[in-house]
């Protein structure tokens, strides 16, 4: 046992795990960039105020926050939308619109840890600033869907809702909005029914919450009210994205408005939500104007878990070539050969333990080298080395200049 262990809810990642994570991250970035998003980065910590302005004082209990040495209250970021909006206000306001930025970073929440829920986790997400045209919102949703599909995930379910419809239904009922929104967000149907019991329109409200078909929305709303969601859904079809309408998406917080969406991996059970997003209005809260903004965040760790669950075969990193010099006089020659091959972009490891040939090649096998280069002094004097195929055991002499052709 070591004296100090890692903090609760955090994880270490082995080289194997990091290779998998980086491979998936790379694919996700490619899709964001194919939609014209460009990456930004913001600090890991922010003034606590940024998050309380956005989410209220309650958020303090859920964040890692502290006073620094000059007494400022700082927080490790629990998410990246507010930092992005701050950055936009400080530096990017003059950028041509629409402004499309994406990010990948670790976030911290003082959550109760369980599989798929951590205190340090990674989000990849984006913000679309300056447009709220239905095709723009549909493109945003399509980006989220294609980023997920691009990782190799098979089973993802996209649900799209409209907060204006939900809020106006709640208003018609005449109940306290934040409380019922919280119950809806948790899908606590018993709680909802209890809360609206006896209210005029309660049955109709429950029917609305369960509505999953756009054409049935006409029962509850005028044509005008459902025009926007109808249009976004039509554009989504144009982007080739399968979806279901879900009138019950609440997205918890007050600054969300208009079209909202969530994407799940049903195989993950309790922590199945991979992505949440939609239209929101944060700039006015931060002292800016009401430029339209929308975005989403993907839970990177859950994507990895979902891929593992689906039995996805993660791409293997490029193989390593191993160099074994025979005898001390060959060691410096091995260094120069390794340097030359590395310069050509080949991954190379050489014996750094002065092992015997047998032990050295056993090690090469353990690190997954497919080829070993054995450098004997007599051969080397003739400009030759021996290449050993680690899988078949087959060996052949080749000229030094020709080595890279065989790797």
Binding site for ligand AMP (CB under 6 A): 79, 109, 111, 117-118, 121, 123, 273-276, 297, 299, 301-302
CB of 118 to ligand AMP, least distance (A): 4
Q: Which is nearer to ligand AMP, 98 or 105 (CB)?
A: 105
CB closer to ligand AMP, 78 vs 325: 78
Q: Smallest distance, Å, CB 253 to ligand AMP?
A: 9
- Nearest-CB residue to ligand AMP? 299
Q: How far is the CB of 347 from ligand AMP (least distance, A)?
A: 32
Nearer to ligand AMP, 6 or 93 (CB): 6
Two tokens, residue 69: 């040495």
Nearer to ligand AMP, 52 or 123 (CB): 123
What minimum distance in Å lies between the beta carbon of 303 and ligand AMP?
Answer: 8
CB of 12 to ligand AMP, least distance (A): 16
Closest distance between ligand AMP and the C-beta of residue 315, in Å? 23
- Nearer residue to ligand AMP within complex by CB, 77 or 324: 77
Smallest distance, Å, CB 44 to ligand AMP?
A: 16
Spell out the residues 6+ positions from residue 39 whose beta carbon is closer than 8 angstroms to its own.
29, 32, 101, 102, 103, 104
**Closer residue to ligand AMP in complex, CB, 159/347:** 159
Q: Toward ligand AMP, which CB reaches closer, 256 or 322?
A: 256
């Amino acid at each position: 046992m070591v004296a100090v262990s890692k903090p609760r809810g955090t994880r270490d990642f082995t080289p194997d795990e990091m290779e998998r994570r980086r491979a998936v991250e790379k694919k996700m970035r490619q899709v964001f960039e194919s939609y014209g998003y460009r990456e930004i980065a913001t600090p890991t910590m922010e003034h606590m105020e940024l998050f309380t302005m956005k989410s209220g004082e309650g958020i303090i209990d859920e964040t890692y926050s502290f006073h620094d040495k000059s007494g400022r209250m700082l927080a490790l970021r629990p998410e990246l939308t507010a930092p992005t909006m701050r950055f936009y206000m400080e530096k990017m306001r003059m950028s041509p619109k629409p402004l499309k930025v994406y990010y990948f970073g670790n976030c911290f929440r003082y959550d109760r840890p369980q599989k798929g829920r951590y205190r340090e986790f990674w989000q990849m997400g984006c913000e679309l600033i300056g447009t709220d045209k239905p095709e723009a919102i549909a493109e945003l949703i399509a980006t989220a869907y294609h980023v997920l599909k691009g990782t190799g995930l098979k089973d993802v379910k996209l649900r799209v809702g409209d907060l204006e419809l939900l809020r106006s239904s709640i208003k018609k009922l005449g109940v306290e909005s934040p409380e019922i929104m919280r119950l809806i967000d948790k899908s606590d149907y018993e709680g909802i029914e209890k809360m609206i019991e006896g209210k005029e329109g309660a049955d109709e409200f429950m029917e609305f919450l369960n509505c999953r078909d756009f054409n049935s929305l006409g029962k509850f709303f005028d044509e005008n009210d459902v025009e926007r969601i109808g249009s976004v859904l039509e554009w989504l079809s144009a982007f080739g994205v399968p979806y279901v309408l879900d009138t019950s998406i609440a997205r918890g917080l007050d600054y969300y408005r208009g079209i909202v969406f969530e994407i799940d991996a049903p195989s993950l059970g309790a922590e199945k939500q991979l992505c949440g997003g939609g239209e929101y209005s944060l700039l006015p809260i931060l002292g800016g104007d009401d430029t339209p903004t929308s975005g989403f965040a993907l839970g990177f760790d859950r994507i990895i878990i979902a891929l593992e669950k689906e039995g996805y075969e993660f791409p293997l990193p490029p193989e390593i070539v191993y160099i074994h010099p025979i005898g001390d006089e060959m060691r410096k020659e091995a260094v120069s050969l390794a340097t030359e091959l590395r310069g050509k972009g080949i991954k190379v490891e050489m014996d750094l333990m002065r092992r015997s040939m047998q032990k050295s090649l056993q090690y090469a096998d353990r690190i997954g080298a497919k080829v070993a280069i054995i450098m004997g002094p007599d051969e080397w004097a003739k400009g030759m080395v021996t290449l050993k195929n680690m899988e078949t055991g087959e060996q052949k002499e080749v000229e030094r200049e020709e080595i890279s052709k065989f790797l």
